[in-house]
Structure 1
Amino acid sequence: MKPKSAGDGGRLAWALLVGSAVRLGGFVLFPGLAARCLGGRVELSTPATSYRRLAEGLHLAALGVSPYDGGQFHQSPLLLLLFWPLRFLPALATDAVYVAADALVALALAGIAAAAATPRPAVPGETRFVCAPATAALLYLLNPLAIATTLAKSTIVFSHLAVAGALYYGARGRPRPAAVCAAAAAHLSLSPAMLVVPLALMAGGPQRRFGPMAAAVATFAAAAGLLHVLFVAVYGPQYFAATVDFTLRVADLQPNVGLFWYFFIEIFDEFRSFFIAVFQLTALAFAVPVSWRFRHTPLFAATLLVGIISALKSYPAWGDLALFLGLLPAFADLVKYLQYTFLSANLLLYGIGLAPVFWHLWIDQGSGNANFFYAATLVYVFGQIVLLFDLGSAMLRRDLDIDRPEAREHVVVQE
């Protein structure tokens, strides 16, 4: 990102420095908290993002055994390639990689906020509220959910880096690196493959030129295909079953903050395939209609899809919500249009606050059961859904105020 002035650049540098210092201080001053407590929290790490499972995969690879043969490692080979050299370095080097990745995510979010503020039209007579890039970065870096995710060493941080990079390059009018980042994000977490639709709209520009849009999709497909061929050549075809197929089938029903695990524990086996298809297609079905409805602001459509992924993916964690919230400062002018901020904020806070309590009652005390914890996840997911609908309605109302400023004081009733 190119700051507008030396002052903007200085504030952004301070934001990155403060956020990085908090994370590095957590690793150094509280190593037990990061390694034993947070690393094992199901709200922060899932079977698809656990650092402990990544360490096991690296150990198997060092022994000359395919990490995908043991049935425990289900993460992208990209992570094996990234962490392989770190095996020979002190643990602080791994900590520094996580801190650097989060700083890069914050830097990308700052660039997205700066890019989003420039081209959007304003409501006639409106005093626009724009979030400064440094503020956007700091809001993400000081988000307790983002800090806890990094200290837990959840590998979802690197998926967030790829997603943030894709949106940053897309917002900056660079479709090829955006498509490559989206392909990497899809290999890291699968669900971000949905973002190729708004990224293609960004590439097409306001005129929706078919050529650049098709080129962006082709670049995404080529990059994803080349990575797949590389991984098959190195790790064999079993990597695909252990990563992509594992995520689609929801093969590990370890509790998390999503909707899948409890439902598929209770469902009869003969109905499992049908409901897996329904659950997976529910999230995928939003990609095209959401992107097309907000085609005039594809970055906003991509932000909504990030929120939908956070709520409806197979193995969600609190870190997914941190990324979604980190994108919202780019649309600070929607704040005055939001109608259910109090409700969505309280639902999210209750869901986040109650999950550890109910987990303790269920697992540690034995005085609760799975229904307690799942109830907290339902509240948490419902809070995200309320926020998503509120954001979508706010953007539609703002568009109406721009197109018909004479109707700004009218109440819109949807039937």
Structure 2
Amino acid sequence: MTEEKQSAPRASEQTKPNIELAARREQGKLIKVLLAGSALRLIIMLLFPQFVEQHLAGRVELSTPVTSYKRLVEGLYLSSHGVSPFDGGVFHQSPLLLLLFKIPYYLPEIVTNLVFILADAAVALVLAKITGARHSLPQFSQRAGVPGEQAFACPPSVVAMLYLFNPLMIGTTVVKSTIVFSHLAVVLALYMGMHGKINASVGWAAVAAHLSLYPAMLVVPIALMAGKRQMLRSAVVQTVAKFAVAVLALHVAFTMAFGKQYFLATFDFTLRVADLQPNVGLFWYFFIEIFDEFRSFFFVVFQLTALAFAVPVSWRFRREPVFGAIMLVGVISALKAYPSWGDLALFLGLLPVYEELFKYLQYSFLFGNLLMYGIGLAPVFWHLWIEQGSGNANFFYAATLVYEFGQITMLFDFGSAMLRRELDISEPETRTHAVIQE
């Protein structure tokens, strides 16, 4: 008996160096992935500037009126000459970006390129840390699993690689779409919430809301994360109150600096969908065709369609608030007023955090093909419509409908996968049974 008791500690002592060695190797792989992804973006920006400027910078699939770098430069130019950037009707982005680029605006272009690249690499790093936290933090790693299931955790370096080498995200970064900074605020809010740093999480969520408005929905799953450490009702009330105070503080500060034009050019501009420039969303074509007397009604309907998902989705996945937040990121990507391919790239980058759901997917072939067709056809139909003149707006909108249907199918499939997995955990005897909901 004594020999067996002595051998157990020796075995555990031998495994510790192996675990530390594996962790160092994984950290080294992660650093290499971050450097490689950043180098690829810098090479494209430096060696192919004309290609980026002529063929990518103007793509409506990558840049929108609220994320365009050209419009940001216009805002910086007006601000540097003592004119309010919100008076010209061109700049519709958060004043936070004016503060961020106030100094790089006067420096060589490579400095601005590096700011975007570093922000994108930071997003990949935080995604990797979110994956690692989910498999290491007690509140996530000690939960029950499916009996007999072989555990597998997607390495953080692979998660970072899938995000950094996604062509949609590469294109978004090289055209310097400011959505990169919204992505960074979103993932930091989730990461801080997972670690119980609710004040920091709420702060980043407020920043994300000022950058892109729709991430305000994430306050609900963040409140549920806080509810795991204290009474749920008080946690929700306190979290929502803190978020409201943070958003209001930023709003008051920017209103004092820029006047009411700031609000009209940012939040009001997005809510009213004032610019009907084509994009990969559903709003622009519908509101071009709708009669003016019905426009206000459908503005409310379309915007509430996206915002209405915040509470029910978060509550249904309240046992996994991080997954609820990921689902809301997918809802935002599909239903926001000015979406781009960068929104989908963030959603795809977050999915490997729950790699155990992939084997439950039933429509992966369908939504994979829909997304590829939508992404592939959009530039073709745009060329036929705008450049050749042999098509019309229906061509491009058809491609966006295929793209949107692919996103919605993917959302439905991943939500169903999580529900099926929860059933397999709670009722293991039903694992081989088909579930029919009447």
**Same-fold call, TM > 0.5?**
yes
State the shift of 1:4 in Å.
Answer: 7.5
**8 Å CA contact retained: 1:76, 1:188:** yes
Q: Which residue of 368, 371, 380 corresponds with 1:357?
A: 380
Return closer, same or farther for 1:4/1:231 CA change in 2, 3 Å cut-off: farther
Task: Give yes or no for the alignment of 1:159 onto 2:182.
Answer: yes
Give the fraction of aligned pairs with identical amino acids, expressed as a percent. Answer: 65
Task: Give yes or no for the alignment of 1:18 onto 2:36.
Answer: yes
Q: Which residue of 129, 136, 143 corresponds with 1:111?
A: 129
User: 1:249-260 alignment to 2 at 5 Å?
Assistant: 249-260=272-283
Q: Where does residue 288 of structure 1 map in the other structure? A: 311
Q: Which residue of 212, 226, 229 corresponds with 1:203?
A: 226
CA distance in 1, matches of 2:27, 2:360: 30
Q: Unaligned stretches of 5+ in structure 1?
A: none
**8 Å CA contact retained: 1:201, 1:208:** no
Q: Which residue of 168, 171, 179 corresponds with 1:148?
A: 171
State the shift of 1:208 in Å.
Answer: 5.2
User: 1:330-369 alignment to 2 at 5 Å?
Assistant: 330-369=353-392
Matched residue SS, 1:40: coil
CA distance in 1, matches of 2:172, 2:49: 14
State the shift of 1:128 in Å.
Answer: 2.1
CA distance in 1, matches of 2:260, 2:152: 51
Q: Which residue of 59, 76, 88 corresponds with 2:77?
A: 59
Matched residue SS, 1:375: helix
Of 256-265 and 29-38, the range deviating more from structure 2:
29-38
RMSD: 1.4
Q: Where does residue 77 of structure 1 map in the other structure? A: 95
User: 1:88-127 alignment to 2 at 5 Å?
Assistant: 88-118=106-136, 119=140, 120-127=143-150
1:96-133 Cα distance to aligned partner (Å, 9 max, x none) = 00000000100111111112234143111100222111
CA distance in 2, matches of 1:18, 1:228: 38
CA distance in 2, matches of 1:325, 1:14: 21
State the shift of 1:176 in Å.
Answer: 1.0
Of 319-328 and 10-19, the range deviating more from structure 2:
10-19
Task: Give yes or no for the alignment of 1:132 onto 2:173.
Answer: no
Normalised by the size of structure 1, how large is the TM-score? 0.98
**8 Å CA contact retained: 1:260, 1:314:** yes
CA distance in 2, matches of 1:35, 1:93: 17
Matched residue SS, 2:266: helix
State the shift of 1:215 in Å.
Answer: 2.6
CA distance in 1, matches of 2:376, 2:95: 34
State the shift of 1:185 in Å.
Answer: 0.3
**8 Å CA contact retained: 1:51, 1:154:** yes
CA distance in 1, matches of 2:151, 2:57: 42
CA distance in 1, matches of 2:22, 2:200: 23
**8 Å CA contact retained: 1:117, 1:330:** no
1:59-112 Cα distance to aligned partner (Å, 9 max, x none) = 111111100000111000000000111122100000000000000100111111
Matched residue SS, 2:61: coil
Q: What code does the residue aligned with 1:199 have?
A: I
State the shift of 1:206 in Å.
Answer: 6.9
Q: Which residue of 232, 239, 242 corresponds with 2:262?
A: 239
Return closer, same or farther for 1:234/1:50 CA change in 2, 3 Å cut-off: same
State the shift of 1:204 in Å.
Answer: 1.0
Q: Where does residue 328 of structure 1 map in the other structure? A: 351
CA distance in 2, matches of 1:68, 1:62: 13
State the shift of 1:246 in Å.
Answer: 0.2
Of 312-321 and 116-125, the range deviating more from structure 2:
116-125
Q: Where does residue 432 of structure 2 map in the other structure? A: 409
Matched residue SS, 2:57: helix
Normalised by the size of structure 2, how large is the TM-score? 0.93
Residue-pair matches, total:
414
State the shift of 1:168 in Å.
Answer: 1.1
Query: Structure 1: which 4+ aligned runs deviate by more than 4 Å?
Result: none
Q: What code does the residue aligned with 1:361 have?
A: L
CA distance in 1, matches of 2:358, 2:231: 28
CA distance in 1, matches of 2:295, 2:238: 38
Matched residue SS, 1:11: helix
Q: What code does the residue aligned with 1:104 have?
A: A
Q: Which residue of 167, 180, 191 corresponds with 1:168?
A: 191
Q: What code does the residue aligned with 2:318 have?
A: R
CA distance in 1, matches of 2:105, 2:313: 43
Of 300-309 and 201-210, the range deviating more from structure 2:
201-210
Matched residue SS, 2:144: coil
Task: Give yes or no for the alignment of 1:192 onto 2:215.
Answer: yes
Q: What code does the residue aligned with 2:365 have?
A: F
**8 Å CA contact retained: 1:206, 1:296:** no
State the shift of 1:139 in Å.
Answer: 0.5
CA distance in 2, matches of 1:342, 1:207: 42
CA distance in 2, matches of 1:264, 1:122: 47
Q: Which residue of 382, 395, 419 corresponds with 1:396?
A: 419
Q: What code does the residue aligned with 1:5 have?
A: A
Q: Where does residue 384 of structure 1 map in the other structure? A: 407
Q: What code does the residue aligned with 1:90 have?
A: P
State the shift of 1:35 in Å.
Answer: 2.7
Of 199-208 and 100-109, the range deviating more from structure 2:
199-208
Return closer, same or farther for 1:218/1:31 CA change in 2, 3 Å cut-off: same
1:127-148 Cα distance to aligned partner (Å, 9 max, x none) = 0222111110110000000000
CA distance in 2, matches of 1:108, 1:197: 21
